[in-house]
Structure 1
Amino acid sequence: MSEMNTIREQAAEWLIYLDAGGPGDLNRDPGFREWLEQDPRHPRVFQQMQQLWSGASPAPSPSRLGRAFGTVGVCLLLAVCGVQLPWQTWRADYRSDVGEVVSYQLADGSRLTLNTNSAVNVDFEQGRRHIELIRGEVLADVESDPERPFVVATSNVSAEALGTLYSVQHHDDHSRVAVYESRVRVTRPGTNESLQLSAGQWARVGADIQSGTGTLPATPDWSRRQLIFNGASLKSVVERLGHYHPGVLMLSDALASGSRRFTGALPTDDSEAALALLAASLKIDIGGLPPYVVYLDEAP
Structure 2
Amino acid sequence: MNRDVARAAAQWLALLESGAATERDHAALQHWRDSHPQHEQTWQRAQSLRQRFSDLPQALAMASLDRPQPGRRAVLKRALGVAALVPAAWLISRQLPLDAWRADLRTATGERKRLPLADGASLQLNTATAVDVAQRRVTLVDGELALTVPGTAALTVDTRYGQLRVSQAEVCVRQLASGCRVSVLKGAVQVRDLKGQLATLQGGQQASLQVSGLGAWAPFDVLQLGWRDGVLTAQNQALGDFLRELERYRPGVLRWDPSLESLRVTGSFRLDDTDRILSLLASTLGLELHSRTRYWVTLATRDTTV
Return the TM-score normalized by structure 1: 0.71
Could you tell me whether the CA contact under 8 Å between 2:169 and 2:186 is conserved in 1?
Answer: yes
Q: How many residues matched?
A: 246
CA distance in 2, matches of 1:22, 1:263: 33
CA distance in 2, matches of 1:285, 1:111: 41
- Structure 2: gaps (5+ residues): 1-9, 22-38, 60-81
Give 1:106's aligned residue.
Answer: 117
Give 1:197's aligned residue.
Answer: 201
Offset of residue 136 of structure 1: 0.6
Higher helix share: 2
CA distance in 1, matches of 2:140, 2:188: 19
Could you tell me whether the CA contact under 8 Å between 1:156 and 1:173 is conserved in 2?
Answer: no
Inter-CA distance 26–175: structure 2 relative to 1 (3 Å threshold): farther
Inter-CA distance 272–26: structure 2 relative to 1 (3 Å threshold): farther
Offset of residue 90 of structure 1: 2.3
Could you tell me whether the CA contact under 8 Å between 1:57 and 1:83 is conserved in 2?
Answer: no
Give 1:165's aligned residue.
Answer: 170
Q: How does 1:211-230 map to 2 (within 5 A)?
A: 211-214=216-219, 216-217=221-222, 220-230=225-235
2:132 is paired with a residue whose SS is: strand
* 1:275 paired to 2:286: no
Give 1:297's aligned residue.
Answer: 300
Q: Who wins on radius of gyration, i.e. which is larger?
A: 2
- Structure 1: gaps (5+ residues): 1-14, 29-50
Out of 213, 226, 241, which is 1:208 matched to?
Answer: 213
1:239 is paired with a residue whose SS is: helix
Give 1:62's aligned residue.
Answer: 52
2:245 is paired with a residue whose SS is: helix
Give 1:6's aligned residue.
Answer: none
CA distance in 2, matches of 1:170, 1:178: 12
Inter-CA distance 219–251: structure 2 relative to 1 (3 Å threshold): closer
Could you tell me whether the CA contact under 8 Å between 2:111 and 2:128 is conserved in 1?
Answer: yes
Out of 174, 182, 187, which is 1:177 matched to?
Answer: 182
Offset of residue 22 of structure 1: 11
Deviations 1:124-154 (A, max 9, x none): 1xxxx111101110000114243xx311111
* 1:150 paired to 2:155: yes
Give 2:20's aligned residue.
Answer: 27
Return the TM-score normalized by structure 2: 0.70
* 1:137 paired to 2:148: no
CA distance in 1, matches of 2:149, 2:255: 39
The 10-residue stretch of structure 1 (136-145 or 194-203) with the greater mean CA deviation from structure 2: 136-145
Could you tell me whether the CA contact under 8 Å between 2:191 and 2:198 is conserved in 1?
Answer: yes
CA distance in 2, matches of 1:268, 1:22: 26
Offset of residue 233 of structure 1: 0.8
1:192 is paired with a residue whose SS is: coil
Offset of residue 109 of structure 1: 2.8
Give 1:284's aligned residue.
Answer: 287
Give 2:107's aligned residue.
Answer: 96
Moved over 3 A (4+): 21-24, 53-62, 64-68, 84-87, 215-219
Q: Percent identity?
A: 26
Offset of residue 85 of structure 1: 5.0
Offset of residue 103 of structure 1: 0.6
Deviations 1:67-100 (A, max 9, x none): 89xx9xx89x959x99255442223211111111
2:199 is paired with a residue whose SS is: strand
CA distance in 1, matches of 2:223, 2:15: 52
